[in-house]
Amino acid sequence: MHELRKDILLGRWVEVLSESKEPSEYGLPSDIGTSEKNCALCAGRETETPPEITSIRRQGTLPNTSGWWVRAIPSFDPLFKVEGNLDRRGVGLYDRMNSIGANEILIESPEHAVRPEDMGIEQMVRVIRLYRDRIADLNRDFRLRYILISKNSLFDSLRTFSHPVSSLVATPVIPKKIKDELENAKQYYDYKERCVFCDILREELKVGDRIILETRNFLCFCPYASSFPFEAWIIPKRHNCDFQEIYQEEIEDMGFVFMSMLKKLRAVFKGEVPLSYFLHTAPNRVPRRNHWHTLGDGYHWHLEIIPRLIMRSGFELGSGLFILTTSPEKAAKFLREVG
Ligand SMILES: [Zn+2]
Ligand SMILES: [Zn+2]
Ligand SMILES: [Zn+2]
């Protein structure tokens, strides 16, 4: 019999099919070409991008010249702009506002064709440091309510960069999915006076069959009611709501866990898996009415990794009830056991 499972964080149900698909039953896109010749993000072409916001670079090299390992630049074509005011108002029945915010490209490597799983731990650690530095910096702007770092690898719906990049978008509102997660975490905290994520961590460590990888500081696992087959989360064992407060030791460990996970995905699917990942951290704490005062105790940052293996059916789009064609236990077993 198929099984319905409730997602404790989003409050929605998913259906786990009783017969799990094997990795080989999902088709991967065949050859995805990367074109280097027109790429302004490669090393040596720094003058062709907007001036950099920050970079981690070799000592003695100047901003906007080569010598960098990772680099943050404003988006060429921003979804949100820093200048102006929100001008929030009603239009008849509806609400609108200006798209004030920030939109940056985080360039993960000076090399054009390197995959995240092949860039080496040292470089992955620099990427995570850049994530931390940009969130810490933008957190000081109280007009911004939420800062989301995300990545599409081999899959890009908005703009195609074949160069390895992550995207940073800071919005003047808390986006819906994050709001749902925050609200459910708050409800759980109000009721139990414990962080729901810490409880999930304990439960997953106890049950064990959804664990992919465990290190000193992190757990990587397939969530009980995943939204996508082979979805995986990386969550720090130390409770903290703010990603930007990550310790150096944790950054190094996270680099290892993240890279191992991506390598495992490639091994299980015997090829490059298109994927998205995103970092969920606490929103900017703007003092306001109905402010969640215990947010620091009840929310817990984490990274969600979504392999893009499936198209949603009409039923899923119409209902929001997602079908899991491979159970989280089976997916975790494949990923755990692969070398
Ligand atoms: Zn490039
Ligand atoms: Zn926690
Ligand atoms: Zn999340």
Other Cβ atoms less than 10 A from the Cβ of 85: the count is 10
- What per-residue confidence (pLDDT) applies to 32? 54
Residue with tokens 């191992």: 260
Q: Parallel, antiparallel, or unpaired: how do β-strands 94-96 and 102-107 relate?
A: unpaired
Two tokens, residue 121: 């731990």
d(CA 234, CA 254): 8
d(CA 232, CA 212): 8
Distance 101 CA to ligand 1 centre (A): 26
- What per-residue confidence (pLDDT) applies to 104? 96
Which listed ligand is nearest to 300 at the C-alpha?
A: 2
Which pTM value belongs to this model? 0.93
From first to last of the 339 residues of the chain, give the pLDDT tens digit: 999 999 999 999 999 999 999 999 998 765 555 566 778 999 999 999 999 999 999 999 999 999 999 999 999 988 898 888 888 899 999 999 999 999 999 999 999 888 889 999 999 999 999 999 999 999 998 889 999 999 988 765 445 577 899 999 999 999 999 999 999 999 999 999 999 999 999 999 999 999 999 999 999 999 999 999 999 999 999 999 999 999 999 999 999 999 999 999 999 999 889 899 999 999 998 776 667 788 899 999 999 999 999 999 999 999 999 999 999 999 999 999 998
- What per-residue confidence (pLDDT) applies to 272? 87
Distance 280 CA to ligand 3 centre (A): 5
Distance 161 CA to ligand 3 centre (A): 25
Q: What is the enclosing helix (H) or strand (E) of 323?
A: strand 322-324
Distance 45 CA to ligand 3 centre (A): 36
